[in-house]
Amino acid sequence: MRLAVLASGRGSNLQAILDAIAAGTLDAEVIGAWSDRKDAQALVRARDAGLQAHAIRPRDFADRAAHDAALFGALDAAGPDLIVCAGYMRLIGAEVMTARAGRMINIHPSLLPDFKGLHTHQRALDAGVPEHGASVHYVTAELDGGPVIAQARVPVLPGDDAGTLSARVLGREHSLLRETLRWIAAGRVRLHEDGVHVDGQRA
Closest residue to ligand GRF, Cβ-based? 87
Specify whether the CB–CB gap between 150 and 180 falls below 8 A: yes
Round to whole Å and give the CA distance between 74 and 86: 17
State whether residue 2 is helix, strand or coil: strand
Question: CA nearest 49: which of 30, 77, 26?
Answer: 30
List 87, 133, 146, 147, residue binding ligand GRF (CB under 6 A): 87
Taking CB under 6 A as the binding criterion, the range among 63-71, 105-113, 139-147, 188-196 that sits at the site for ligand GRF is: 105-113
Specify whether the CB–CB gap between 12 and 172 falls below 8 A: no
Specify whether the CB–CB gap between 150 and 198 falls below 8 A: yes
Does position 13 bind ligand GRF by CB under 6 A? yes
Q: Which helix (H) or strand (E) holds 42?
A: helix 41-48
Q: CB 183 → ligand GRF: shortest distance, Å?
A: 18
Does position 86 bind ligand GRF by CB under 6 A? yes
Binding mask 156-185 for ligand GRF (x = CB under 6 A): --------------x--x------------
Taking CB under 6 A as the binding criterion, the range among 8-16, 21-29, 71-79, 152-160 that sits at the site for ligand GRF is: 8-16
* b/e 52-75 (16+ beta carbons within 10 angstroms → b): ebebbebeeeeeeeebbeebbeeb
Does position 10 bind ligand GRF by CB under 6 A? yes
Question: CA nearest 106: which of 1, 3, 2, 6?
Answer: 6
Is residue 135 part of an annotated ligand binding site?
Answer: no
What residues from 44 to 83 belong to the interface with ligand GRF (CB under 6 A)? none
Q: CB 139 → ligand GRF: shortest distance, Å?
A: 12
As annotated, the binding site includes 11-13, 64, 89-92, 106
As annotated, the binding site for (6R)-10-formyltetrahydrofolate includes 64, 89-92, 106
- Provide the binding-site residues for ligand GRF, judged by CB under 6 A: 7, 9-13, 42, 86-87, 107-109, 134, 170, 173
